[in-house]
Amino acid sequence: MIKKALFITIFSISIFTYSQEFNVGTNNINLGIGFGGNFGNYTTSSQSPGYSITYERGIWEVPGPGVVSLGAYLGTKTYKYNYTLGNDKWNYTIIGIRGAYHYNGLKINNLDVYGGLMASYNILSYSGAGSFNNKPSATGFVGGRWYFSDTFAAFAEASYGVAYITLGASIRF
């Protein structure tokens, strides 16, 4: 009886220890819709949500406990301005490289919490008077994923990129 209880305890601890939601070798794709944003500082007639896709892969374990991931980001958002002399349309596209720290110390199954930094290039296309420069940029982000199955999750992320808040779905493979 004691051997059986010891076996069950050790087996349960080992399963719990390895049930982290983001590990070295984990691949993840996020598809998101974002709200708000740091573009369009003028009064707009209309704007689209921010649309984004991200990819990341767990690269190495670090003390904390956690895993560092590296990945890519692509996001876009459109603003339209209507005024007496005409209409303007601004399209922002952000292409970036992201690094994130996934904290695995909460011991909550199905939850992946993370934060990180992104280096990006902001591409502006504009129809109207004037000219604008494309530029490099950097931003931080924090987020979390809740897994409903081994491969599917919902996520929420706060950042200062194409949108302040992004909500969406994640696929892990």
- Reported as a single tens digit per residue, the pLDDT across 7-51 is 443 333 333 333 457 999 999 999 999 998 766 555 556 888 999
Beta-ladder partners of 117: 99, 140
Count CB atoms within 10 A of the CB of residue 87. Answer: 11
1 pLDDT above the threshold of 60: no
* Torsion angle of C-alpha atoms 135, 49, 163, 170, degrees rounded to 10: -110
Q: What local confidence, expressed as pLDDT, does residue 82 receive?
A: 73
The pLDDT tens digits of the residues spanning 144-163 come to 999 999 999 999 999 987 89
Q: What distance in Å separates the CA atoms of residue 161 and residue 76, rounded to the nearest whole number? A: 10
Q: What distance in Å separates the CA atoms of residue 68 and residue 83, rounded to the nearest whole number? A: 47
Structural domains of the chain, ranges and CATH numbers in brackets: 2-172 (2.40.160.20)
pTM to 2 decimals?
0.81
The pLDDT tens digits of the residues spanning 109-131 come to 999 999 999 999 999 888 765 55
Q: What local confidence, expressed as pLDDT, does residue 173 receive?
A: 93
73 pLDDT above the threshold of 80: yes
Q: What distance in Å separates the CA atoms of residue 83 and residue 107, rounded to the nearest whole number? A: 54
What DSSP character marks residue 159?
E
Beta carbons within 8 Å of 169's beta carbon, 6+ residues apart: 30, 31, 32, 152, 153, 154, 155
- What band does 53 get if pLDDT is binned at 50, 70 and 90? very high
Q: What local confidence, expressed as pLDDT, does residue 110 receive?
A: 94
The pLDDT tens digits of the residues spanning 74-100 come to 999 998 877 777 777 888 899 999 999
2 pLDDT above the threshold of 60: no
Locate 89 and state its tokens: 């349309």
